[in-house]
Structure 1
Amino acid sequence: MGKPGRTKDAGYTGLPELNRLIHEPARLLLMSLLYVLESADFVFLMDRTNLTQGNLSTHMSKLESAGYVEIRKEFVHRRPHTLYLLTTTGREAFLRYRDEIRQVLEQGDLG
């Protein structure tokens, strides 16, 4: 039985299963930045997110393992330079996640 004073809405379909990998706040921020920028380097992402080197590396490794991010390592003026790019798979996953969040927000407006 539902809460007193509330009725089930025929339009309610239940909440979607959110992508937990993207839903984590730090990874959501990283995915959002890469979606807009298409690519960013390690120092830029560290500055924008306030993540430590270790945390940023860990989150980016998880996104890379999922196929969402490509990591390019090179040397620029004899110094290591790490560049991150959102893959096609990552872009599609981010768009699906965005649509799922919109659905959650719209469901919240039912009652």
Structure 2
Amino acid sequence: MFKKLNPLLHSQLRLAIMSLLVSDEKAEFTYIKEVTKATAGNISVQIQKLEEAGYLTVKKTFKNNYPNTTAHLTPKGLNAFEEYVNALKEYIK
């Protein structure tokens, strides 16, 4: 029987954000925007959803007098991502 896929991670943009964080543990908002080619507003909404789920934390600072937002992967987020990938593997066996 197939495992249910995590609906939070099944979104293309949220999955892309989590994939970036799995490989780097943290990523600046501008980098996420550059790589995903998504709008700032859409990224903000998706990051907020992932933060509310406890999958990442957000740190807001200033860099050269400009606001700088960095997303950090949490252990819960890493675990959810790994479970999602393992569930997908069951689908392709």
Question: Normalization by structure 1: what TM-score?
Answer: 0.82
Determine which of 21, 33, 57 is the counterpart of 1:46: 33
Compare CA radii of gyration and give the structure with the larger one: 1
Cα distance in 1 for partners of 2:40, 2:16 equals 16
The equivalent of 1:77 in structure 2 is 64
How many Å separate the matches in 2 of 1:103 and 1:33?
A: 23
Q: Within 5 Å, give how 1:15-34 maps onto structure 2.
A: 15-34=2-21
Deviation readout 1:25-77 (Å, 9 max, x if unpaired): 11111111110011110000000001101000000000000000110001122
Deviation beyond 4 Å, 4+ runs, structure 1 = none
Aligned to 2:77: 90
Kindly provide the amino acid, as one letter, of the partner of residue 105 in structure 1: I
Q: CA deviation at 1:83?
A: 0.4
Q: Hey, what's the Cα distance between the residues in 2 that align with 1:18 and 1:77?
A: 41
TM-score, structure 2 length as denominator? 0.97
Count of residues in correspondence between the two structures: 93
RMSD: 0.7
Percent identity, aligned pairs only? 37
Rounded to whole Å, the distance in 2 between the matches of 1:40 and 1:59 is 14
